[in-house]
A and B are shown apart, each in its own frame.
Chain A
Amino acid sequence: MTDNLQPDLTATTESTDESFQTRANTIVRAADHATPLKLSNITIRYGGDKGGAEPVTVVEDFNLTLHAGEMHCVAGRSGSGKTSILTVGAGLTLPTSGRVLWEGDSLEKMGDDEIADRRRALIGYVDQGGALIDGMSALENVLLPAVPDGEVEQRTEMAKDLLDLVGLGRRMRHRPAQLSGGERQRVAIARALILGTRVLVVDEPTASLDRTSANRIISILKDTTNDGIAVLVASHDHELVRLSDTLTELN
């Protein structure tokens, strides 16, 4: 099922489409490829270990082609395999069978280091709840992806701009414990975009947020697609489902 709906941005208070659009264009480079992520015949099976647990097939023969600038929502009840599809798509886990293609390159042929390098350049992953690192400010969290390439200093201004962009310009010195759930999600999105990500993989971004905060997150995600960034989001938020370009509903 696929729906194309306009987002309801009435709840946003700190940014406008125009400003976001303008500033994001200067921060995030556009996607080079039209199909940055493709999942082909993915089957994910758990269990069947030595403990005698019966194997459970969570996802079977799943296919997805994510185009640049497209937001695809994976919806379904809890335990239906939404997060599994996201982690497989982000290359964090390997499927039981099937192929994961990043810009046409299969992950099967890549080693751990290459996957990590490609993920850093291609995928921005936003975990459920944000998964920020304790003890580090919002700014430092946003800059973490730049550490492996030694670009922390070069990207500091960009990080500040991104935080400003997600409406946290005045809270960049705050630590995760001092941020609300919605704010943590926004920091996590900014962190996912810091390296010019072409695919944003977001897990349940509005799960525990109030409507206002949720709408704000949805707005940011939708705006991101306008810059050519593909968004793969797992959610059962009706608003998010409604605004997605494409939808896969898992049973």
Chain B
Amino acid sequence: MNAVQRFIRSRVLLLTAAILIVAMCLSVFIQSQSQAALNRTVDQNSRGLYDILVQAKSANTKDGGALLQPDIANGQGGISFPQLEKIRGLSGTSVAAPISLVSRVTQNLETPRLDAMDYLGYNAGLAGGATAGDPTGTDSKNWPAPESVLPAQPKKYRLTATAVSSDGVSQQTLFQTSAEGTLGKGQVIEQQTAGGKSIRIAGPAGETGIKFPAPAGGSEHNLFNLSVALPMAPPVTESVVAVDPTAERALLGSAGDFLAPLEKAPPADARNAGVIGRYFEQLFAKSPTQQELEQGPDFLGVKLKYWAPLMTQYQQAKLSGQITDASQAIPLIVRQGTSLDLKYSVKIQEIDDSGKVVNDVGTVSRSLDKDYLPFVSKSPFALEWPGSTDHSQLLGNMGNFSQGLYQPAQWSTDFAAAPKYTDGATSANGAVGKSATPGDWVTVNKLPEKSAFGAIVDQSQRKPVDERSYRDNLSTGSKPATPLPMVYGTFDPAQIQKAAGDVNKLPLGGYDPAPMTLQKDASGNDTAAKGLKPSLSATGLVSQSAGAITDYYGLAAARGYDSNANVIDAVRVRASAPGNWKQAQPEVDKLAAQIRGMGLEATVVAGSAREDANIFVPGYSKDDAGKESALGTVQQSWVRQDAADAVSGSLTGTNITLLFLTLCGATLLTGASTVSYIRQRRSEAGILRAMGWTQRKIRSWVLEEFGIGAAIVAVAGIALSLLSWNLATVIVSASVLLIYCGAAYIAAQQLRHRDVVDQEPQHDERLIAVDSPLTFAYRQLVTHRFSSVALAVAVGVFGAAVGALIALLIDIPRAAGASALSGLASATIALPSVILAVSGVLVGLVLTLVTGRFELQARREQLGTLRAMGWNPDMLGQVRFFENALVGAVALILGVLGALGLGLLLAPYAALWAALAGVLAVICWIPIATKVVK
């Protein structure tokens, strides 16, 4: 029988070689599948709408690879228009789209009104009076019967008004107030006047009406309605960003069509607010048609659908003297709707003279819900009595605009990223010598102290900028006149996102709301992940999407600058180089270098992707006493630069770890199979020796068999290395070959002849005396140390591999759902990782089987001997159990530590689950092994 035949006959060697080759194949598989696929996918998809983010030089500038906060429109400015033009003039620039935060616009919501319809069948012809002797007049006897929910005799009521805002997580009571007074059914009063009779509507005798504390109005009978003006709504603030509509449309493509009306806005010298206001006044002096009212009058080719607010604000500003000759109009494209829920409720109770409630009439409520439109009240609401019928439509279309609307917007200078500081105070957010003063806006300053891998997180990434007031003219310091907002159209951020495609193609900041998910409450306890809606209220978070978009003339009008101020926050530049990121990279890098040469910060965003970061939100909401409370830790999507490199690097580490573990498993298995081989061949070697074979001949006999396996392993390694052309595969193949050769050397050494010397008594009296199945089992394990330890290691490897598999199975769906980048990564690494982990489990199982067989026959014979001595089946069962339990106890330590370590490497948060899985795997092994030995 030649060496090849002997190799084939020796299943142990064949199995070992096969497993080692599988280990090498796995290395190729992992390298080629995970990393290459990831690189390819990221490369193909990571060139977004623009390539370079240009910002002003900052002390916090970081090298590549850092996290960029998505809210780049922060009001810092720093880039001038000449610089913008210079960027546009660079040969590699295709599009340079500037963006700036204009301001925060604070506005009051509608003043809600409580209506009680006194009469049904309102007829506009009845408005006015029935004059005696006038044949066209309607006799009061013919008027419709009153249908009022109010009593004829006034009764005393208490109204409690509440306004609550909610952003999806917490509610905040914005105000709560109550007022008391008497109300009754309105009456038609016929009065004798000079020249005849006149009719008027009045409350019943003795009605005091209800008046809320200032600034809310009181109640009045107006025509056929009882109206109670509720307290003023709280101010609500929105952000406004400025863009260049032409560049923006070039950047966004069809998704930017909503900006088209902005391009038609009048030039800067034709935006005098007074002139525009007067133009609209004269339009309506000519009795516009209903169609014109509904669609909006034409203004320079744009139908201004929301003309009413403009008119109202113009008139109110004119009356209050806020409009001056210098006042500019600001064209706005406003965002449709919002998820902010602002709910009014009025509780109506009938009370007696002592103030005791005698009848709970009910509670009426109204929510802004999704119909709310910033800057414009599309559908002002009226509160109605419970049980009454809404007849407001009888009042005609004018009713839509007759209900208060809002005061002219107050243009604020509070910037999201710029908390107010008190000089000299201690900072709570890292700013030296200053502390943030709670204001209407909450600044998110804090990142997790350590990343998942323990690295210190750069907190300065969120270091707030110094406060700068743009309300004052940058040159003169004077305050400009109040601007007049004009609504040109609306936009829906969801539609933009849908049109722009993948989330990482959307422009940073601007009109892309950065979603937040609450992960932990303020106490640091885990909470069910809950999406937070962008808030418009005083409880707002920093990363709000823009409520409105204007152009740079609008920016000038709002901020009051008139010449060459560095007001551009950021410029998004798309390079003209075509192709995917890898193809365009040289040109993009060159362009970025040119921009840096201008003294600006140029961050290459191409090749980046979204990545989630956990952020602690300290001051989130205030209670009635004004005390702030933290929201907790939220998860927000940021942008990871050089995503492909970052993830590839991470994957490389993971892969190397997994490959190392594979090699460890292969080494263990080779060791186990070599021992098995030695046991098989020891008797054969003895026979050959008896036949006269020399030591040298026997060694050659062994090495020849191993040589066949080594040759196969080497050929496989060379082939795989050439196919993959990967250094890692070469290293793994060489390592595997080395392991195999090592095994051959050990086998040859072990099969050498040794003279057995019958030594003097060696029994160790310190050993535990055998007096029970447990002590018998212990002594057997001690006697067969090698087999016991080998089996424990094998079971430990099995437990660790099961733990790793569980960690991966937990990690993959979690990672896939975490962010676009992690989804990308997990999708590409999922299959090879799972295959590797399953292979680990199989290796552990095979190891367990191979090592378990070492002493199986001997153990069975021992059990037979014990049985012959009269040990009963229970005791024999105990011996088997204790033997495996003791091995399991050692394996448990190895398995738990291994599973925990692998879990920490692969998915730190799942490490405990991995350890638990390792424990369960080992514990499950014990009864199975006990059964097998029987």
A47 at the interface (CB under 8 A from B): no
Contact A136 B869 (CB under 8 A): no
Interface residues in A92-148 (C-beta closer than 8 Å to B): 92, 112-113, 116-117, 119-121, 123, 125, 127, 131-137, 140, 143-145, 147-148
Q: Are B868 and A127 in contact (CB under 8 A)?
A: yes
Taking a contact as CB atoms closer than 8 A, the residue among A133, A143, A195 that contacts B870 in the complex is A195
Q: How far is the CA of A140 from the CA of B770 in the complex (A)?
A: 7
Rounded to whole angstroms, the CA-CA distance of A69 and B759 in the bound complex is 39
Query: Which residues of chain B in 868-912 are interfacial with respect to chain A, using CB atoms and an 8 Å cutoff?
Result: 868-875
A131 touching B865, Cβ below 8 Å? yes
From 742 to 775 in chain B, residues with beta carbon under 8 angstroms from any chain A beta carbon are 758-759, 761-763, 769-773
Check B779 for interface membership: any CB of A closer than 8 A: yes
Contacts of B865 in A (CB 8 A): 127, 131-133
Asked if A158 CB lies within 8 Å of chain B CBs, one says no
With an 8 A cutoff between CB atoms, is B867 at the interface?
yes
Cβ distance B644 to chain A, nearest Cβ, rounded Å: 60
* Nearest chain B residue, comparing its CB with the CB of A194: B869
A117 and B870 contact, CB distance less than 8 A: yes
Which of B252-260, B429-437, B780-788 is found at the contact surface with chain A? B780-788
Inter-chain contact B763/A90, CB cutoff 8 Å: no
Indicate whether B677 reaches chain A with its CB closer than 8 angstroms: no
Does B776 interact with chain A (Cβ within 8 Å)? yes
- Given the known interface contacts A144-B770, A147-B776, the answer about A125 and B762 at a Cβ–Cβ threshold of 8 Å is no
- Within 8 Å CB of A120, what residues of B? 869-871
A174/B763 in contact, CB under 8 A? yes
**Neighbouring A residues of B874 by C-beta, 8 Å:** 113
Report Cα–Cα, A206/B673, bound state, in Å. Answer: 37
Query: Is A175 close to B, CB under 8 A?
Result: yes
A148 contacts B769, C-beta separation under 8 Å? no
Distance to closest chain A CB from B755 (angstroms): 15
Question: Complex formed: what's the CA distance from A191 to B779 in Å?
Answer: 18
Chain A: minimal CB distance from B718 (Å): 45
B783, A135: Cβ atoms closer than 8 Å: yes
Q: B861 to A131, Cβ gap below 8 A?
A: yes
Does B866 belong to the interface (CB within 8 Å)?
Answer: yes
The one of B761, B772, B870 that contacts A145, using a Cβ cutoff of 8 Å: B870
In-complex Cβ contact of A116 among B769, B772, B779, B867 (8 A)? B867
- Does A173 lie within 8 Å of B872, measured CB to CB? no
Measured between beta carbons, the chain A residues less than 8 angstroms from B763 are 137, 173-175
Q: How far is the CA of A170 from the CA of B769 in the complex (A)?
A: 19
Contact B762 A144 (CB under 8 A): no
- Give which listed residue, A137, A153, A178, A195, contacts B758 with CB less than 8 A: A178
What residues of B have a CB within 8 angstroms of the CB of A131 in the complex?
861, 864-865, 868
**In the complex the two chains form, is A92's CB within 8 Å of B867's CB?**
yes
From the candidates B761, B772, B783, B873, name the one contacting A147 in the complex (CB within 8 A). B772
A52 surroundings in chain B (CB, below 8 A): none
Residues of chain B from 841 to 872 with CB closer than 8 A to chain A in the complex: 858, 861-862, 864-872
Chain A residues positioned under 8 Å from B875 (CB to CB): 147-148
Chain B: CB-nearest residue to A126: B868
Measured between C-beta atoms, what is the minimum distance from A14 to chain B in Å? 18
A48 on the B face (CB < 8 A) = no
A51 at the A/B interface (Cβ < 8 Å)?
no
The residue that B872 contacts in the complex, of A92, A112, A152, A175, with Cβ under 8 A, is: A112
Report whether B869 and A191 are in contact in the complex, using a CB–CB cutoff of 8 Å.
yes
With A and B bound together, what is the CA distance between A143 and B770 in angstroms? 8
Bound Cα distance from A148 to B871, whole angstroms:
6
A150 proximal to B (CB < 8 A): yes
A148 lies within 8 A of B784 (CB): no
| A127 / chain B contacts, CB cutoff of 8 Å | 865, 868
Cα–Cα, bound, A137→B768 (Å): 12
Interchain CB contact (< 8 A) of B873 among A113, A123, A178: A113
Q: Which of A182-228 contact B (CB under 8 A)?
A: 191, 195
Say how far B871's CB is from chain A's closest CB, in angstroms. Answer: 6
Contact B872 A148 (CB under 8 A): yes
**A116 and B872 within 8 A (CB):** yes
Task: Give the distance in Å from the alpha carbon of A90 to the alpha carbon of B782 in the complex.
Answer: 31
- Bound Cα distance A171, B760 (Å): 10
Complex Cα–Cα for A171 and B866 (A): 22
Nearest chain A CB to B776 CB, angstrom units = 7
Inter-chain contact A144/B869, CB cutoff 8 Å: yes
Q: CA–CA, A127 to B869, complex, Å?
A: 10
Tier of interface size on chain A = 35 or more
Asked if A175 and B779 make an inter-chain contact with CB atoms under 8 angstroms apart, the answer reads no
Structural contact, B759 and A116, CB atoms closer than 8 A: no
Query: In whole angstroms, what is the CA distance A137 to B866 when docked?
Result: 15
Nearest Cβ in chain B — how far from A184, in angstroms? 12
One digit per residue, 1 when the CB lies within 8 angstroms of any chain A CB and 0 when it does not, for chain B 177-217 equals 00000000000000000000000000000000000000000
By a CB distance below 8 angstroms, the chain B residues around A191 are 869
Taking CB atoms, residues of chain A closer than 8 Å to B783 are 134-136
Chain A residue contacts of B780, Cβ below 8 A: 133-135
Known contacts A136-B770, A136-B779, A178-B758; A92 and B873 CB within 8 A of each other: no
Would A117 and B869 be within 8 Å (CB), given that A147-B772, A174-B763, A178-B762 are in contact? Answer: no
Q: Which residues of A contact B762 (CB under 8 A)?
A: 175, 178
Q: How far is the CA of A77 from the CA of B872 in the complex (A)?
A: 33
Cβ–Cβ contact A92 & B770, under 8 A: no
Q: How far is the CA of A221 from the CA of B388 in the complex (A)?
A: 116
Q: Which chain B residue lies CB-closest to A197?
A: B870
Task: Tell me whether A148 and B771 are in contact (CB under 8 A).
Answer: no
- Contact in complex: B771, A147 (CB < 8 Å): yes
User: How far apart sit A195 and B869, CA to CA, in the bound complex (Å)?
Assistant: 10
Please tell me if the beta carbons of B866 and A144 are within 8 angstroms of each other in the complex.
yes
Cα of A112 to Cα of B872 in the assembled complex, Å: 7
Residue of A nearest to B879 (CB): A147
In the bound complex, residues from chain B placing their C-beta under 8 Å from that of A150 are 771-772
Interface contact B770-A112, CB-CB below 8 Å: no
B872 and A135: CB pair below 8 A?
A: no
> Whole-angstrom distance from the CB of A159 to the nearest CB of chain B?
12
A92-B868, A174-B761, A178-B761 given; A135·B873 CB < 8 A:
no
Q: Is the CB of A125 within 8 A of B873?
A: no
CB distance from B179 to the nearest CB of A (A): 91
* Contact B873–A152 (Cβ < 8 Å): no
Nearest neighbor of A152 in chain B, beta-carbon distance: B771
Would you give the shortest CB distance from A185 to chain B, in whole angstroms?
A: 14
For the complex formed, measure the closest distance between the CB of A89 and the CB atoms of chain B, giving whole angstroms.
12
Q: Which residues of chain A have C-beta atoms less than 8 A from B870's C-beta?
A: 116-117, 119-121, 123, 145, 148, 195
Chain B residue nearest to A119 in the complex (CB): B870
Q: Taking the nearest CB of chain B, how far is it from the CB of A201, in angstroms?
A: 9
Provide the residues of chain A in CB contact with B873, threshold 8 Å.
112-113, 116
Let me know if B761 and A125 touch, CB within 8 A.
no
Q: Which chain B residue lies CB-closest to A174?
A: B761
Contact B869 A145 (CB under 8 A): yes
Decide: A113 and B784 in contact? CB cutoff 8 A: no
| Most chain A CB within a 10 A radius of its CB, from B858, B862, B866, B872 | B872
B290 to chain A, nearest CB (A): 96
Contact status A133-B868, CB under 8 Å = no
Most A CB atoms within 10 A — which of B761, B772, B874? Answer: B761
Best-buried of A112, A135, A145, A171 by chain B (most CB within 10 Å): A135
- Closest B residue by C-beta to A121: B870
B805 to chain A, nearest CB (A): 37
Chain A neighbourhood of B868, CB < 8 A: 90, 92, 119, 125, 127, 131
Specify which chain A residues have a CB less than 8 angstroms from the CB of B772 in the assembled complex.
Answer: 147, 150
* Residues of B bordering A, CB below 8 Å: 758-759, 761-763, 769-773, 776, 779-780, 782-784, 858, 861-862, 864-875
List the 4 shortest-distance A-B pairs measured between CB atoms, nearest first: A135-B783, A120-B870, A116-B872, A125-B868
- Can you name 25 A-B pairs with beta carbons within 8 Å? A92-B868, A112-B872, A113-B874, A116-B867, A117-B872, A121-B870, A125-B869, A127-B868, A133-B865, A134-B780, A134-B783, A135-B780, A135-B782, A137-B761, A143-B770, A144-B770, A144-B866, A144-B869, A147-B772, A147-B875, A148-B875, A152-B769, A152-B771, A174-B763, A175-B763
Q: Name 5 extra pairs, CB < 8 A, besides A113-B872, A116-B872.
A: A116-B873, A135-B780, A135-B783, A136-B783, A152-B770
